[in-house]
Structure 1
Amino acid sequence: GEPGTGIYEVYEYDAGGVQEVIDELTFQSGSSAEVDPVAAGIARAQAVVDSFSEPPDQITVTESINSVVPEGKTVAWLACEVTCAAFNPAFEAATEALNWNLEILNIASFGANSSILTALDLGADFIAITGTPPATIADEIETMVDAGVGLYSCFDTTLPSELEGLMTNCSGNDNVFAAGSVHANNVIVRSGGTAKVLMVNIPDFAVLVSQRNGAAAAFEENCPNCTFEELAVSLDQLLTGEVPGAIISAFQADPDLNWLMVAFDGMLYGILDALEGANLDERISVSLTDHDAASLQECVDGRIEFGTVNPVLYTAWLMVDGMVRTSVGQEIPGNGHVTPPIPLFLTQTPESCQALLDTPEADWKGPATMEAQFSALWGRG
C-alpha cells in the first residue's frame, strides 16, 4: 500500500488447511483506524470458526465408478485397541452394501504384524488399518504386495505415491493439521485471545504431531497473547491410566496455564474427574479433537467447552471406496484419498452435542446421507 498504511488479511481455511483471503483490513499508521493485532487475530480466528460451525452434508469424493463392482471380495479390518472398534459398524455397512465379506481382527496398537499375515491366510483381498506408520509393518507390506493385496489406511502421514502397496491414506497430514488449526482458532475466540494452553498429546503417532503443528501455527498467527505448549505422553501411559496425574502435575507447576486441549477422545477419560479432585476445574477450560459418545455427554453436562467432530464412520466408507476402485482397476482420486478434505465441524453448544447423542450412532457419522451417496458412486444406489 501507500507509505504510512498497512493491511491485515483475513483468511478462511478449507478442511485441507489451505488459506483463502476473504477480507482485507486497511489502516492508516498513527490514525484512529489503526487495527489492534489482537483484534485482527481474533477476527481471523472467528472467520475460521464460522466456516466449521455447521455439519457438512456432502461427501468429498465425487468420481463415479466406471465398471460393475465384483461381489464376494473379502476385507480384513485390523481394529486397534482403545478406539478402533468405533469403525466397525461402518465397515459392516459398507461391505454389506457391496455383498462383500468382512473379517474384523482386533490388534494392539503398533502390533499389526502377525495380524496382517492372519488376514492373508483368511484370503483377504484388501486390508484396512488406521494410525499405523507403514515403517512398523514394512516386511508385511512387502508380503502383501507379493500376494497382490493392498493396504488401505487412514490417520497416518505416509503418502501412497511414496510406498508400493499403500493404496489410501485418508485423513493424513493436511487434514489433521487443519483439525488442529480449527480447534486452536476456536480456543482463541472462546478465550478472547488470552488462552494459556497445554495440549496433552501422544506424539508417537505422526498424525498427532501434524495436529499439534496445526494448532501451534494457528496460535502463532492469530493470538499474540496466547501461549501454547505440549505435554507429550506415551500410549503406555494412556493405557495404564497415568495421563490424568501427569496433567495435574503440569497445571500445578505452572499457575498461568488456563486451557487444556486434548488430542483425541480416548485421552479424555479420567481427566475431568482429576481436575475436579485437584480443585482445578474452575481455572482450566477443556476442549478436545474428535468427540465420542462419552465426550459428547461431558459437553452436554457443561464439563468441556467444545470439541471437533471427526467422522470415523465416514473414513471407513472412504477406505472401502478405495477398495472398490481397486477392484475395477480404477485410479483412487486424490493420491489415494489423501487430498479430499474430511468433513469436520465444531460442537459449540451443549445442545449441538445432545443432538449428536440423539442419533443412532451417538456420534457424528459424517454427512447424513453419506451411505446413499457412496452407494450411488458405486452403482449400488
Structure 2
Amino acid sequence: MYGTKTLTLLATGVLATALAACGTTSEPAPQAAGQASAPAVALAAAKENQTKYLKQPTSIVQSTPLKSAPPKKKVAFVQCADPSCAILAGYLDEAVKSLGWELVTVSATATDPGAAVQQAIDAGVDYISTTGYPTDLFKVQMAEAKSRGIPMFLCYSTDVPKGPENNLYSDCNDATAAEAYAHAMADHLAVDSGGTANILAVTIPSYPILNAQTDAMREQLAKNCPGCELNLLEVSVNDLAGGAVPQRISSYLQTDPDVDHLFFTYNGLETGVHPALKSAGLLERVKLVGTQGGQAQMAGMVNGTSQAWTALSQELAMWTMADQMARLSADAWSLGDERKTAIPPFYLVTTPEAAKEIEGEKDGWPGPSGFKDTFKKLWGV
C-alpha cells in the first residue's frame, strides 16, 4: 500500500520526467511577501480544530424533557463477542433500571449476531439493542422485528436511523461521531509532528464503524497534514482474542522503520502492546495514541508510555441509547433529536496532567459531571 508521502514522491518523479522529455523546466511560483506556505496554512487549521477538543465537556447534548414518564418496557441487549461489550451491557442495565424497566442480555458470536437477535425476538421483548454490528448481518431478523413491532436501537454502528421507515431508532457514536473524533485526533497528530507524522493505524476491518474512523482520519490528514502518511494494520477479532496483536505490530514496525506513531481505533487493540514493543526495543521509536482511552491508557499517559487518547464515555453512550428508547415509549421520539445526539460529547487527552484527572476511572472518562441525574430529570423519574 502506498502512503501519502510515497505517492507524492512518485508523482514528483513522473512530473520531472515529463518536463525533461519536453525540454522544459519549471520553477515554483514565488511566494508573496508575508504569505504563509500551504503546509503552514494546513497546520494552522489543524491546530485550530484540535484546540476545540482539549477541554473536558461539562454537559450532555440532550436538553428536552419528556412530557410524561415513560411506560415500562422489556429491553434486550445483544452483547457482542468483544470483552468491551460486557461493560456496555452493564451501563445499559443501569440506565434501563433507572427507568424502572427490565434488561435481558443475549450473547452473540462475532460473525452471526442474527441468532442472538432472533433469540431476543422470541423472548417477547419490547425493544432490541446492540453495539458495533451493522444491520446487514441480521437482515432477516430486522425484517421480523419490524413485522412484530419491535424497534431496534444501535450504538457504534454505521447504519442511519430512519425511524418507522427502517425500524431503527438510534445509532449513537455512529459514523458522524467517528468522523468527528478521527478528525480531532488527525489534527493532533499533525500538530504534534509538525506536519510529518508517519502513522500506522491498527484496526479490525470487520467492524464498519472502525473503517469509518480510519477513512475519516485519512481524509483529514490529506486536508490538514499533506506531509503525513497513514497506513493500516488490519487484524481480526481472533487475533485480538488470541493475544496476537502485539506481535503483529512488532513485526510490522521491524519492516517499516519510518513509522513514528501507532494509532489504535479503540483501546482494546492496545492491550499488551507496550511490553511487546519494549521487549523488541521498539518502544522509544513510536508514540502510542488512540480512540476511547480507558484506565490503562490514562495510566500510560501519566507514566509516559502513551501520548494521546480521545476520551469517549461508554456510560454516556448507553444512557444516550436508553434516552432514545424512553422518548419512543413516551411518543416523543424524533429523527432530528436522535441525529442531534448521535455525537455524544468527547475530548482529546494530550497531556499527563489531563490524563491524571481521569486515571482513577476504570473504564475511562465517565462523561460530564452529573449526566445521569440530568437524564433522570429529563425522563421525569
For this structure pair, what is the TM-score category when the shorter chain's length is used for normalisation?
0.7 to 0.9
Greater Cα radius of gyration, structure 1 or 2: 2
> Which residue matches 1:161?
162
Aligned length: 351
Give the Cα–Cα distance (whole angstroms) in 1 for the partners of residues 160 and 44 of structure 2.
Answer: 34
Give the Cα–Cα distance (whole angstroms) in 1 for the partners of residues 49 and 372 of structure 2.
Answer: 28
1:6-25 alignment, distance < 5 Å: none
Tell me: CA distance 1:109–1:368, structure 2 relative to 1, closer, same or farther (3 Å). farther
**TM-score, length-scaled by structure 2:** 0.87
Between Structure 1 and Structure 2, which shows a larger proportion of helix residues? 2
Counterpart residue identity of residue 76, structure 2: A
> Which residue matches 1:215?
217
Counterpart residue identity of residue 136, structure 2: A
Between Structure 1 and Structure 2, which shows a larger proportion of strand residues? 1
Give the deviation of 1:136 after TM superposition: 0.6
Note the alpha carbon deviations across 1:88-144, whole angstroms, 9 max, x for none: 332132122211112222333333222223223333211110010101111111221
Give the Cα–Cα distance (whole angstroms) in 1 for the partners of residues 302 and 39 of structure 2.
Answer: 31
Give the deviation of 1:338 after TM superposition: 6.6
Q: In the alignment, is the contact (CA less than 8 A) between 1:161 and 1:335 conserved in 2?
A: no
Deviates more, 1:260-269 or 1:297-306: 297-306
Give the deviation of 1:245 after TM superposition: 1.9
Tell me: CA distance 1:30–1:193, structure 2 relative to 1, closer, same or farther (3 Å). closer
Q: In the alignment, is the contact (CA less than 8 A) between 2:80 and 2:108 conserved in 1?
A: yes
Give the Cα–Cα distance (whole angstroms) in 2 for the partners of residues 153 and 185 of structure 1.
Answer: 28
1:53-68 alignment, distance < 5 Å: 53-68=54-69
Note the alpha carbon deviations across 1:223-260, whole angstroms, 9 max, x for none: 12211111122222222222222212221112111111
2:63 counterpart SS class? coil
2:178 pairs, out of 176, 179, 201, with 176
Give the deviation of 1:362 after TM superposition: 4.8
Deviates more, 1:60-69 or 1:316-325: 60-69
Give unpaired runs (5+ residues) of structure 2. Answer: 1-28
Note the alpha carbon deviations across 1:27-49, whole angstroms, 9 max, x for none: x9634312022222221111111
Give the Cα–Cα distance (whole angstroms) in 1 for the partners of residues 94 and 236 of structure 2.
Answer: 33
Q: In the alignment, is the contact (CA less than 8 A) between 2:75 and 2:125 conserved in 1?
A: yes
Note the alpha carbon deviations across 1:312-336, whole angstroms, 9 max, x for none: 1111011111111111222234374
Give unpaired runs (5+ residues) of structure 1. Answer: 1-27
Note the alpha carbon deviations across 1:197-224, whole angstroms, 9 max, x for none: 1111112111111101111112111112
Counterpart residue identity of residue 378, structure 1: W
Give the deviation of 1:147 after TM superposition: 2.1
2:365 counterpart SS class? coil
Q: In the alignment, is the contact (CA less than 8 A) between 1:168 and 1:338 conserved in 2?
A: no
Give the Cα–Cα distance (whole angstroms) in 2 for the partners of residues 55 and 110 of structure 1.
Answer: 36
1:332 pairs, out of 314, 319, 334, with 334
Give the Cα–Cα distance (whole angstroms) in 1 for the partners of residues 160 and 174 of structure 2.
Answer: 8
Task: State the identity as a percent.
Answer: 27
1:344 pairs, out of 342, 346, 352, with 346
1:363 counterpart SS class? coil
Deviates more, 1:167-176 or 1:239-248: 239-248
Give the Cα–Cα distance (whole angstroms) in 1 for the partners of residues 131 and 337 of structure 2.
Answer: 17
Q: Say whether 1:99 aligns with 2:100.
A: yes
Q: Which runs of 4+ in 1 moved over 6 A?
A: none
Q: In the alignment, is the contact (CA less than 8 A) between 2:78 and 2:129 conserved in 1?
A: yes
Q: In the alignment, is the contact (CA less than 8 A) between 2:197 and 2:229 conserved in 1?
A: yes
Give the deviation of 1:293 after TM superposition: 1.9
Tell me: CA distance 1:332–1:293, structure 2 relative to 1, closer, same or farther (3 Å). farther
Give the Cα–Cα distance (whole angstroms) in 1 for the partners of residues 341 and 90 of structure 2.
Answer: 25
> Which residue matches 1:255?
257
> Which residue matches 2:237?
235
1:70-219 alignment, distance < 5 Å: 70-71=71-72, 73-81=73-81, 82-161=83-162, 164-219=166-221
**TM-score, length-scaled by structure 1:** 0.87
Give the Cα–Cα distance (whole angstroms) in 1 for the partners of residues 295 and 108 of structure 2.
Answer: 22
Note the alpha carbon deviations across 1:63-98, whole angstroms, 9 max, x for none: 322333113x11111222221122233213212221
Tell me: CA distance 1:91–1:339, structure 2 relative to 1, closer, same or farther (3 Å). closer
1:161 counterpart SS class? coil
> Which residue matches 1:24?
none
> Which residue matches 2:373?
372
Note the alpha carbon deviations across 1:131-185, whole angstroms, 9 max, x for none: 1010111111122122211111011111122862221111111110111111111
